[in-house]
Amino acid sequence: MSPNWSKKSGNIEMKETEFYNNSLEKMKSDLCQLDSVQIFEMFFDSSVIEHIVTETKRYATQKNIHNFSINHEDIHKHTVTKWLSQVARERLYWSLDDDLGVPIVQNYMSRNRYLAIKKCLHLADNSNLDTTDKLAKVRQLGNLLNKNFIKWGIFHKNLSIDESMVKYSGGHRKPIRFGFKNSRLPCSSTGYCYNFDTYTGAKNYQTQSNMPLGSKVVLGLLDVAQNPSDHVVFMDNYFTSHNLMLELKKKGI
C-alpha cells in the first residue's frame, strides 16, 4: 500500500485510563514500605545472583582454580564494593593513605578476596556459547533483568521509544565505536524502563524485512506489551516509517 500524504493535521485524542492509575497506585503501595536497597534487590534479585554464582563457579572449575568458593553474600559485597565509590584504580580502595583509602570498603571486603572474585566473575558458560550472538556472554543476564523490569506488568499508558549509550571502547569491530547502543521502551514521563535491547548489528532483526531497522526495533520492544491497544507510543522520525504505522494500526496503537 502506497502512502497518501496530506497536509492536514490528524485529530489525536488521548484519554486517561483508570486501569493504569489503579495499577500504578497498587505498585506504589507494594513498594513504598521498602528502602532503596530493597527496591534495588527487586531487580537484582536472587535469580540474577544465582546465575552469577553458578557461572562464576563453573568458570573457576574450568580454569582449575579448585580452592575458589563463592556464594550470594560474596556477590552482594563485590557489587557494593564496585559501585560504592569511584576511584582512579580499584586497588586504591584499600590504600593506607588517608586521602585515598575507602574505610567502608576495607571493612566490607579484603582486597585479595575482591580480586579473586573479579578474576573468576563470569556470566555465561564459555563451553556452550551461541557463536552467532555477539552478546552471548551477557545475554542471559540481560534477559533476567528484562524479566524483572516487567514483573509488575506495564503500569503506564504512555510509552516512548528511545536510545541510550553504554560507554565502552575496549573491543574491536563493534557496530558503535565508542560504546554499545541500547534501544529502550520506557514510560514517556518517568523514564522507567520496561524492555531494552542492545544493538549488535542489523542482521539480528530478520523479521519484518520490509521495514527499516528503526521500525523493526520498535516492534521488537513492544513485544512485551500484552495489550498494545491500551498504549500510546511516542518516537522520533528515526524509528518511523509508513509500514510501521500500518503495523501499529493493526495492533490498535
The pLDDT tens digits of the residues spanning 233-252 come to: 999 888 888 889 888 988 88
Taking 80 as the threshold, does the pLDDT of residue 190 lie above it? yes
Q: What is the mean pLDDT of residues 113-122?
A: 95
Q: Per the domain annotation, does 107 fall within a domain?
A: yes
The β-bridge partners of 88 are none
Which stretches does DSSP call E strand in the chain?
A: 158-160, 162-167, 179-186, 193-198, 232-234
Q: Per the domain annotation, does 28 fall within a domain?
A: no
Taking 80 as the threshold, does the pLDDT of residue 15 lie above it? no
Taking 70 as the threshold, does the pLDDT of residue 14 lie above it? no
Among 14-18, 121-125, 153-157, which range has the highest average pLDDT? 121-125
Residues 162 and 148 grouped into a single domain: no
pLDDT at 61: 95
Q: Per the domain annotation, does 135 fall within a domain?
A: yes
Going from the C-alpha of 96 to that of each of 86, 89, 101, 105, 215, the distances in angstroms are 17, 14, 6, 12, 54
pLDDT at 94: 93
Q: Is pLDDT larger for residue 167 or for residue 138?
A: 138
Greatest Cα-to-Cα distance within the chain, rounded to the nearest angstrom: 72
Q: Per the domain annotation, does 25 fall within a domain?
A: no
Taking 70 as the threshold, does the pLDDT of residue 48 lie above it? yes
pLDDT at 169: 67
Residue span of the structural domain in which 240 resides = 155-252
Q: What is the mean pLDDT of residues 73-78?
A: 93
Q: Per the domain annotation, does 2 fall within a domain?
A: no
CA distance 112 to 90: 12
CA distance 47 to 110: 26
Residues 167 and 143 grouped into a single domain: no
Q: Per the domain annotation, does 11 fall within a domain?
A: no
Residues 212 and 160 grouped into a single domain: yes
196-219 burial, b at 16+ Cβ within 10 Å, e below that, comes to bbbbbeeebbeeeeebbbbbbbbb
Residues 112 and 188 grouped into a single domain: no
pLDDT at 148: 95
Residue in 182, 226, 201 with CA at minimum distance from that of residue 134 = 201
Gyration radius (Cα) of the chain, Å: 22
Judge contact between 121 and 60, C-beta under 8 A: no
Residues 127 and 203 grouped into a single domain: no
Residues 140 and 61 grouped into a single domain: yes
Residues 145 and 46 grouped into a single domain: yes
pLDDT at 12: 67
Query: In the chain, what percentage of residues exceed pLDDT 90?
Result: 43
pLDDT at 18: 63
- pTM, rounded to two decimals: 0.85
Domain count, the chain: 2
Residues 66 and 143 grouped into a single domain: yes
Type of residue found at 55: E
Residues 74 and 115 grouped into a single domain: yes
